[in-house]
Structure 1
Amino acid sequence: MARKLKTYQTSLGFFDLAIAAPSMKAALEAWGADSNLFHQGAAKESDDPDVIAAAMKKPGVILRRPVGSDGSFNEHAELPTDLGGGRRSTKAERKSKGPVAKKRSARPVDKAAERKAALAYEREERRRADERRREEAARRKERERRQQAVDKAQAALDKGEQEHATRAAAIQAEVESLAKRSQTEDARWNKEKERLEAALRRARG
């Protein structure tokens, strides 16, 4: 059964945000909040009829408007044009409206519209879930591609090290063989030299 939706508001960065969602938790997840903005007083359930109507037209979709403004919420909003003193005066004007700004809608509850909005929210949730799955699949594919490249490079390095070790061992064997031949030659020459010097001394004798 589709869950009844409520409209929630907060302000993040340069924008006021609104969304029609079944719970505060769902709203926080959609906004990507790292903490409970409701407990912190930075988010609330909206009682503005215009905001509720706009959110219910696009359940589950994050709507925006320039922060501090009284404009309508839209899926795409321009950056605030006045980030200075004008923003303070706008807030003051909003506060001055008092009960008028907080007055709840007197329109009768449209059960059919509520069901339609709840179903639309579920469709939007499925769309977002599908998008997250596609993004995760793309990230997984990229990780696998990188791992394959790493494995290939590591295999090439390992093969190079093995070839180097084999060649170095062969060269070392040649060096040891040459050293042994050199020692043998030195020993032979020392004996021969002694014999030849003895013959030279006898000849001079």
Structure 2
Amino acid sequence: MAKKLKTYETSLGFFDLAIAAPSMKAALEAWGADSNLFHQGVATQSEDPDVIAATMAAPGVVLKRPVGSSGPFKAHAELPTHLAGGHGAKTSGRKSQSRRAQKPPRRGNDPAADRKAALAFEKEQNRRERERAKEEAAREKERERRQHAIDKAQGALDAARQKHEEKTAGIRAELEALEDESQAEEVRWEKERTRLEAALRRARG
């Protein structure tokens, strides 16, 4: 038997969120929450008939409205215009509390409607999971592209460093050979100079 959907509300960032879901866990997953907002007291089951009607018309869809406002929930909402906390924000907040105080109309026991809503929720949940999988695949592709670029750049750097080190080693070896040759030449010249100077002295008598 299809599980009846309930409407849950919370506030995240700049928006109030609402969703028709079969459980608190399902609502948290749809909101992308990384902690239990219900245990923290920042998420509740809604008792606002307008909110319930809006979410039941689109089961599984995360509906939004600017945080603190009393406007209707929509699939796409504009950013709040009262972030400075002026009188408009306080008034709308009171209106929102007043609307939440209203009890929702009693829903009759309609298995067909419950089944239809549950199927709609599953369809939206599957769509959301496919979208997440698609986004994850795109992120993985981007990570692979970036890693390939990093590996290529690292390979070029390593090759250039190896070439430099080999060339430096060659130059160092040539310098050492020249130094040895220079020292040998100094020794040879010293012997040659000594011999020639001695001959010069003998010639001068």
Shorter-chain TM-score category? 0.7 to 0.9
Q: Shift in Å at residue 93 of structure 1?
A: 4.8
Aligned residues: CA RMSD: 2.3
Q: TM-score, normalised by structure 2?
A: 0.87
- Taking a change above 3 Å as real, the CA distance of residues 13 and 170 of structure 1, as seen in their structure-2 partners, is closer
Partner of 1:154: 154
Displacement of 1:179 after TM fit?
1.4
Provide, for residues 123-146 of structure 1, a one-character-per-residue CA deviation record: whole Å limited to 9, x for no partner: 111111111111111111111111
Match of residue 87 from structure 1: 89
Q: Distance in 2 between matches of 1:18 and 1:187?
A: 95
**Range with greater deviation from structure 2 (133-142 or 107-116):** 107-116
In 2, distance between residues paired with 1:123 and 1:199? Answer: 112
The amino acid across from 1:122 in the alignment is E
CA distance in structure 2 between the aligned counterparts of 1:43 and 1:177, rounded to whole angstroms: 81
Distance 2:75 2:10 in 1: 15
Deviation per residue, 1:127-179 (Å, 9 max, x gap): 11111111111111111111111111111111111111221122122112111
- Cα distance in 2 for residues equivalent to 1:189 and 1:112: 113
Partner residue, 2:181: 181
Aligned-pair distance for 1:14? 4.0
Report if aligned partners of 2:20, 2:59 keep a CA contact under 8 Å in 1: yes
Q: Secondary structure of the residue that 1:126 maps to in structure 2?
A: helix
Corresponding residue for 1:137? 137
State the percentage of identical aligned residues: 66
CA deviations 1:64-107 (Å, max 9, x no partner) are: 23444443322123445555223333444565679xx4323134
Give, in angstroms, the shift of residue 191 of structure 1: 1.2
Aligned partners of 1:48 and 1:105 also within 8 Å: no
Residue 166 of structure 2 corresponds to which residue in structure 1? 166
Distance 1:166 1:81 in 2: 65
- Shift in CA distance, 86/175, structure 1 to aligned 2, threshold 3 Å: closer
For 1:163 and 1:80, how far apart are their aligned partners in 2? 59
Q: TM-score, normalised by structure 1?
A: 0.87
Change (3 A) 1:79 1:174: closer
Contact 2:60/2:121 (8 A) holds in 1: yes
* Matched letter for residue 181 of structure 1: E
Change (3 A) 1:196 1:5: same
The residue type paired with residue 137 of structure 1 is A
CA spacing shift, 1:122–1:95, aligned 2, 3 Å? closer
May I ask how many residue pairs the two structures share in their alignment? 203
Equivalent residue for 1:25? 25
In structure 2, the CA distance between the partners of 1:138 and 1:183, relative to structure 1 (3 Å rule), is same
Q: How does 1:3-42 map to 2 (within 5 A)?
A: 3-42=3-42
